[in-house]
A = this chain, B = another copy of it.
Amino acid sequence: MQQPFDSVWTREPRASRSSTLSREQIVRTAVELLDAEGVDALSMRRLGAKLGSGATSIYWHVAHKDELLELVMDEVYGEITLPDPAVVGWQDAVTVFAYGLRDALRKHPWAASLLSTRPSLGPNAMRLLARMTTAFEQAGFTGLELDYASAALLSYVLGATAPEIAWQAVIDRSGLDGEELVTAVHETVRRAARDHPGLVSRHEQYRDLDMDVTRAISFDFGLTCLIGGMKARLARDAAPFTEAHDAAPFTDADREQ
């Protein structure tokens, strides 16, 4: 029988006497370094220095840098909470989760790029996925749709947060703030959109809005649309008189209006 792909999560951990360096300590320090100085600052040498040990010592506890990043990613998942859907209802549960994931990614800006690069198979990620599934079970989804719904929610949050972080990185690099910052962002977008008067004129309206608030509104818009669409789907599947339309999620008749 075929072995699974080799990864931190499928391999047996090394037998271990408690030693001066430990995997947890390495991962914790890596997160600190990443938070403090960004993804480019994480090198094995720098990490070793911060741990007060040789760079190559780390390789006893971790197979290679990629594996360290996987461990570090799961650490981020560990920070996210998903309330019990049986208590707060599925909509609130997944909404809290969505905001929690968004917050975690904004707090650890380096995480978004890692997350989109490798599958998330760590225990914390799995725990979250399992809980999310129970939320959607409670909503009324069954079978594979449980996975689809979970994937859709995760996808939206990840996709929506990534550009926020990308912008924040540009802003941080610039070192600007306050009015100067607002003007610089505004001017950048205005130039980029210069061939599309509609975009430019709409963008004027953001001039006096707080950027963080605008982002949150935009995030919430998509989130409520997605959850609303899930509700609509549940309602349609449950209602017998629409069964004739079952094949397509939205019918041609829907499309007219």
Please report A residues at the B interface, Cβ cutoff 8 Å. 1-5, 7, 9-10, 89, 91-92, 112-113, 115-123, 126-127, 129-130, 133-134, 143-149, 151-152, 154-160, 162-163, 165-167, 169-170, 174, 176, 180-181, 183-185, 187-193, 195-196, 198-199, 202, 205-206, 214, 217-218, 220-222, 224-233, 249-250, 254-255
Contacts and interface: CB of A to CB of B under 8 A. Distances in A.
Contacts of A123: 195
Given A184-B3, A187-B2, A166 B130 contact: no
A185 B144 CA distance: 17
B218 A229 contact: no
A144 to B, nearest CB: 6
A54 B93 CA distance: 56
How many copies the complex holds: the figure is 2
A114 to B, nearest CB: 9
Contacts of A92: 255
Contact of A224 (B134, B146, B224, B250): B250
Q: Which 6 A-B pairs have the closest CB atoms?
A: A159-B159, A152-B222, A229-B229, A225-B229, A155-B159, A228-B229
Contact of A127 (B129, B155, B184, B196): B196
Nearest to A91: B255
Contact of A159 (B119, B134, B156): B156
A187 to B, nearest CB: 4
Contact of A226 (B117, B156, B166): B156
A231 to B, nearest CB: 7
- Name the residue in A129, A220, A222 with the highest tally of chain B Cβ atoms < 10 Å from its Cβ: A222
Given A160-B151, A229-B224, A133 B199 contact: yes
- Name the residue in A195, A196, A254 with the highest tally of chain B Cβ atoms < 10 Å from its Cβ: A196
